Structure 1
Amino acid sequence: MQLGDGSALRRIAARATAMAGGLAMAVVTGLAVAPAVHASPSATGALRWAPCDGPEKSGAECATLSVPVDWAHPNGPTLDLAVARRKATEPGARVGSMVFGPGGPGDSGVQMVVGNVSRFSPEVRRRFDIVSFDPRGVGAGNPVTCSTALLAERPSPVLKSQADFDATLAYNKRLRADCRARTGPVFDHLDTAQTVRDLDALRVALGERKLTFHGSSYGTLLGAQYAETYPRRVRAMVLESVIDHSVPTTLDFLHAEAATAQDSFQEFVKWCGRAADCALHGRDVHAVWQGLLARAGRGELEDPARPGTSMSSSDLVNKIAFRKFYQADYAGLATAIAGMEASKPLPASPTSVAPLPTATPVFCSDWHLPVRDYRDYASLVTMMNTTAPDLPHLLPLHMTAACLGAPTANPQHRLDVHGAPPILVSNALHDPATGYPWAVSVARQLGRSGVLLTYEGHGHGSVTSGPCMENSVNSYLTDLAVPPRGASCPAVPF
C-alpha cells in the first residue's frame, strides 16, 4: 500500500499536541469502592449551543451539561460540564455525533474541538459532528483547585528514607484536604466510573440513540468502561493508544510503563544509527544522553526554553525526550540533544521539583496500586531504573509518590463486556506511554467485541498515521466496516 507524504507526519504532530499530558498513571494506597450505578443517565434539558467564547472565530459551538455530582445520588447536587462541537462539514452526508474522550487525565476536550479539530481526518469531520467535553475535575468542568503555595511545597519524589516516605504521606493528606475544600464536593467523585455516566448523559442530550465514540490515551479507559456498563448503547467505538486497567499490581504497572518508554528510546537510537541526517549519527547516543542526565542532575544543564535556568533530569526525560517520543519526532530529539550537549554548562545549583497536573486526583481515584513503605518504594525505583536505564524519573514514578495514601473509588479490574458491537482497538507497536501489550490485553478482554488494528510504527496515537490507518478507521466509524482480525498498517517513514 502506498504511504502518504509529509502531511501525515504533520497530522501526527498536531495529534500529539492535542494529547499532551498523555499517560501518567497513579500509584495509590487505600481502597474505597463506589456503589455501582447502572441506571440510565438523563440530561436535565437540551443542550443550548452558542458560539464559543474567545477572540478567534473558530466556528465551534459551546454548551453546558448539568449532571449529578455523585451518580449514586442522581437527585442530589449537580455540576455543569463544558461541552463543545463542530458540525459536520457536509450536512447532507452526516452520520451523527461522534464524542471524543480526551486524554491525560487533564486534557480539555473543549479546547481540542475549538483549536485542534485537525487531529481528526477530513472524512470524519465531513460525516460527523465532532463533540467533546471537559471531564469533571478538568478545564471548565469543575476543575480541581488547590493552593498554589501548597503545591509549590511538594516534596521531591526522590525518596531516600522512611522519613521521606512518611513526610510525603503527610504532605499528600494535607494537599488533598486543601484541594477538597477549594474544589467542592466533586473532588470525591472524579473517577472514570462517574464520568461514564456523564458520557451517557451527553449521548442522551445529543439525541443519539447509540454512542459513536473515539477515546484517546486516558480516554480509552472511559470508552472501555462505558462499553462494559452500557454495551448495547454503543454504535461504534475507537480506542486509540490503549490503557489496560486490569494491571493488578504496582510492580506490574510500573514495569510496563518503564519497558514501553525504554523501547522508544531504543527505537530512537536504532533510527539515529541508520539515518545520515540524525544530528547524532555516528555517535554513542547512550553516552551522550547519559552525559546530559549527569549535567542535569548537578543543575548544570540549561533549559533551552528558559535561558539561564537549569533543567532537572526529570524535565529532561519527561519534557524533552518523552514529548518527542509522543510525536515520533526522532530528528527533533536528536537536534535538541545535540544543542544541549553543545551548550555552556551553568554553575551547579539545585533544581526545582516540576509541578504535577492538577488532575492528579483523577489518577488517584482510578488506580489502586499500593506501596507499603520506603523499602517497597525503593525496590520499585530500582526496578524501573533497571528496566529503563536511559529514562530515570519517569512521570508514573512521580505519580506514585503524589498519590500515596489516596483512596481509590474505581480500582482496576478485568473488563466484562457482553453484547457490545465490534470495538476497534488501535495502537502503535512502539508507543512510549501505552505499550502495545496493553492493547493486545484490552482487545482480548473485550472478547468477541475486540478488534485490534496494529500500527507498525511509533508514537502516542495512530488513527491518522498514514492512509492505511486513516482509511480503516474512517470506514469503521462511518460504515461500520470492521477490519479483518489481525489487521495491521505499515509505519509512515520518518
Structure 2
Amino acid sequence: MLFRGRPPVRSATVWSTAVVAAAAIATVAGLAVAPDAGAATGNVSAVRWAPCDAPDEPGAECATLEVPVDWAHPDGPTFGLAVARRKATDPDARVGSMVFGPGGPGDSGVDRVVGGISRFSPEVRRRFDIVSFDPRGVGESNPVTCSGDLLAQRPSAELANQAEFDATLRYNSRLRADCRARTGPVSDHLDSAQTVQDLEALRAALGEGQLTFHGSSYGTLLGAQYAETYPRRVRAMVLESVIDHSVSSTRAFLQSGAAAAQDSFDEFVTWCAGHSSCALHGRDIRTIWQGLLDRAHRGELENPAKPGAALSQADLVNKVALRPFYGADYASLATAIAGLQASSPLPASPTSASPLPPATPVFCADWHLPVRDYREYTALVGVMNRTAPDLPRLLPIQMVASCLGAPTTNPQHRLTARGTPPILLSNALHDPATGYPWAASVARQLGRSGVLLTYEGQGHGSVTSGPCMEQAVNDYLIDLTVPPRGTRCPATSS
C-alpha cells in the first residue's frame, strides 16, 4: 500500500490538534513485550516509497507501513502508519536514516518532512535520510475523529462549582465514546508505549540495524521509552526540549509547567528592560499586562485576529504570550502587548471564557493526573496561579480538565534504560514548555547514559541555537562523539 500524498486539511471533526507539551509530563503498560524481544519486527517488510503529492514542496517521498492496532496482539487487525522521508543531500556521505519523533502530542511528522526539514542543520541533512511519521491517531495514521457538534459543546475549564466539575466528567465521557465509535479500535491503543512498537517496526522496515532518533518536545517521551524498551537497538538519540514522564502527581505536573512558563515571562520582562528597541522599554510591563488580563476577564479586550470578538484570558496567555516564548521572540510580544493596550475596549461580555481544548487522547493515555472533586481542582488552580502569577489559565490545567475521567494505559514512571549507549539531551535554561529541571531529571534517570547539553538561552528547541549547539549535536549524530558532561553553550543574541 502506498501513501501518495497529503490531502486537504480536514474539518474540525478530526481530533488531532497539536497541544503544548504540558505547557506542552511502572512499566511499559499494556504490552506483553520484553525489552529487545523483537515483537515489533516479526512480519515487517521494507517500506515502498513513492513521491508525495506535494508539488509546492518537491523531493519528499511518502509511504504507508501496516502495523497492528494493538501490539499485544501483533497478528490482529492492522492500520496504515503514514511515513515520509527526504533523502540525504550527499548520498556518498550518507550515514543512514534518522527518524524524527514529532511533538504535540498531535503534530504530523509527515507534514514536517513534506514541508521541509530546516529544523535540522545542513550537515545533518547532508548525511542522513530524514524520516518521520504521523503517530497513530494523528494526520493520516487512522486519525481520531469526533462529532463536530459535540466538540462545539466543550465546557469551559473555568469551573465554578461541583456541579460544573461533574458536568465536565460527563461531557468527557460522552466525547470519548463518540470519538471511539467514529475512529474504531485504534482509539483504545494510542499511548506512547504502543507508538514505541510502531517506531521499532519502522526501524526494521528502513533496514537499519540500530535506530538513530531525534525527538523534540513530546517526541522525547517516545524516544526515552524506546530506549527503555529496546536499549541495545539505539545507535544515537537526541532528546530536545525534554519531557519528564516520571512526574508522578497532578500537583507536581502543574506546578512544574507553571514555573517554566513564568520563568519565560520573567525573562521577557528582563529583556525589555535592557533593550531600548522593546516597544514597552521603560514601562511597567507587569502592570500593563495585568490590565490586559483584567480586560480579557471582563470580555472587553478585542481579539486582533477577529475584529469585534473578545479575546479570552486563556487565549491572551496561551496564544499571545506563550507562543512568542517558544522562539524567544520578545520584540514581537512587546509590540503585540502595546497594541492591545492601545486598543479600544469592547462592551463587557459575560461569555469570555474559553472552552476546554480538544486534548489529544494520546496525552490522556500517557498521563495519570487525577483530580478528586471541585475542591481539589480549585486548589490546583491556586497552585498554578501562585507559581505563575502573571499567567493565569495556563494550558496544563485545561489539559487536566480535558482528561478528567479518562483511562490511562501508559502512566508515568521512572526510566530504567539500562544498556543504552550515550543519549544526548538538549534543553534551554529558559524553556516555556519543558523546563530545564525536567531535562536534568531525565538525565539523572538515564544515569551514565544521559548526557545533558545546556543552551544558556531561551526558547523551546535548541539544537541549532548557535554554532556551539549545532556542532555538538552534529558530532554526536554523525560520529557518535559525545560532548563532555556539563557542556554549556552560550545564548545567541536576541
Same fold (TM over 0.5): yes
Report what 1:118 is aligned to: 118
Q: Which has the higher contact order (CA 8 A, sep 6+)?
A: 1
Distance in structure 2 (CA, Å) of the matches to 1:20 and 1:178? 20
CA distance in 1, matches of 2:135, 2:282: 47
Contact 2:19 2:360 (C-alpha < 8 Å) held by counterparts: no
Matched-pair contact (CA < 8 Å) for 1:151–1:355? no
Higher mean C-alpha displacement, 360-369 vs 36-45: 36-45
Greater Cα offset, 49-58 or 244-253: 49-58
- Which whole-Å deviations, capped at 9, do the CAs of 1:2-53 have from their partners, x for residues lacking one? xxxxxxxxxxxxxxxxx974313799xxx99414323311253221111111
Name which of structure 1's ranges 297-306 and 239-248 shifts more when overlaid on structure 2: 297-306
Q: 1:215 aligns to what SS in structure 2?
A: strand
- Aligned twin of 1:268: 268
Native 8 Å contact 1:26 1:364 kept in 2: no
SS at match of 1:411: coil
Q: Structure 1 residues 425 and 272, CA, compared in 2 at 3 Å: closer, same or farther?
A: same
Looking at structure 2, the residues matched to 32 and 176 of structure 1 have their Cα atoms a distance apart, in angstroms, of: 23
Give yes or no for contact 1:25–1:399 (8 Å, CA) kept in 2.
no
Aligned to 2:154: 154
Aligned mates of 1:149, 1:184 — CA distance in 2: 19
In structure 2, the residue matched to 1:468 is: 468
SS at 1:427 equivalent: strand
Structure 2 equivalent of residue 15 of structure 1: none
In the alignment, what sits opposite 2:14?
A: none
Q: Distance in 2 between matches of 1:355 and 1:415?
A: 31
Q: 8 Å contact 2:371–2:377 — kept in the other structure?
A: yes
- Residue aligning to 1:36: 32
Tell whether 2:21 aligns with 1:23.
yes
Cα distance in 2 for partners of 1:84, 1:127 equals: 17
Partner residue in 2 for 1:191: 191
State the AA in 2 paired with 1:168: T
Stretch deviating more after TM superposition (204-213 or 51-60): 51-60
Residues 223 and 148 (structure 1 numbering): CA distance in 2 closer, same or farther, change over 3 Å?
A: same
In structure 2, the partner of 1:201 is 201
* Partner in structure 2 of residue 106 of structure 1: 106
One-letter amino acid of the structure 2 residue matched with residue 351 of structure 1? S
Aligned residue in 2 for 1:351: 352
Q: Distance in 2 between matches of 1:333 and 1:354?
A: 24
Q: Deviations over 1:328-353 (max 9, x none)?
A: 00011000100111111122222352
1:127 & 1:401 partners in 2: Cα distance? 44
* Distance in 2 between residues matched to 1:387 and 1:185, nearest whole Å: 40
Q: TM-score, normalised by structure 2?
A: 0.93
CA deviations on 1:370-428 (whole Å, 9 max, x unpaired) are: 11111111100011011101111111110111000001000000000111000001000
Cα offset for 1:355? 5.9
Q: What one-letter code is carried by the residue in structure 2 that aligns with 1:52? A: C
**Residue aligning to 1:3:** none
Unaligned segments of structure 1, at least 5 residues: 1-18
> Does structure 2 retain, via aligned residues, the 8 Å contact 1:101–1:222?
yes
For 1:88, the aligned partner's letter is A
Offset, 1:360 = 1.7
Q: Specify the alignment match of 1:449 in structure 2.
A: 449
CA–CA separation in structure 1 for the residues paired with 2:404 and 2:337: 34
RMSD in angstroms over aligned alpha carbons? 1.6
Could you tell me how far apart the structure 2 residues matched to 1:343 and 1:58 are? 43
Distance 1:169 1:257 in 2: 23
Contact 1:26 1:369 in 2 (8 A): no
Seen in structure 2, the aligned counterparts of structure 1 residues 122 and 32 have a Cα distance that, compared at 3 Å, is: closer
Long gaps (5+) in structure 2: 1-16
* SS of residue in 2 equivalent to 1:244: coil
Counterpart CA distance in 2 for 1:165 and 1:354 is: 14
Contact 1:33–1:408, Cα closer than 8 Å, also in 2? no
- Report whether the alignment pairs 1:382 with 2:382: yes
C-alpha deviation, 1:299, in angstroms? 1.3
Q: Counterpart in 1 of 2:54? A: 54
Residue aligned with 1:381, SS? helix
SS in 2 for 1:118: coil
Residue 181 of structure 1: aligned partner: 181
Distance 1:240 1:33 in 2: 24
Aligned equivalents of 2:355 and 2:111: distance in 1?
24
Deviation track 1:420-477 (CA, whole Å, cap 9, x = no partner) reads: 0000010000000100000000001001100000000000000000000000000000
Partner Cα separation in structure 2 for residue 484 and residue 54 of structure 1: 42
SS in structure 1 of the partner of residue 213 of structure 2: strand
Residues 95-135 of structure 1 deviation map (CA, whole Å, 9 limit, x = unaligned): 00000000000100000001131011100000000000000
String of CA shifts for 1:180-218, please: whole Å, max 9, x gaps: 001110000000000000000000000000000000000
User: What is the TM-score with the length of structure 1 in the denominator?
Assistant: 0.93
Whole-angstrom CA distance in 1 between matches of 2:130 and 2:486? 29
Tell me the SS of whatever aligns to 2:474: helix
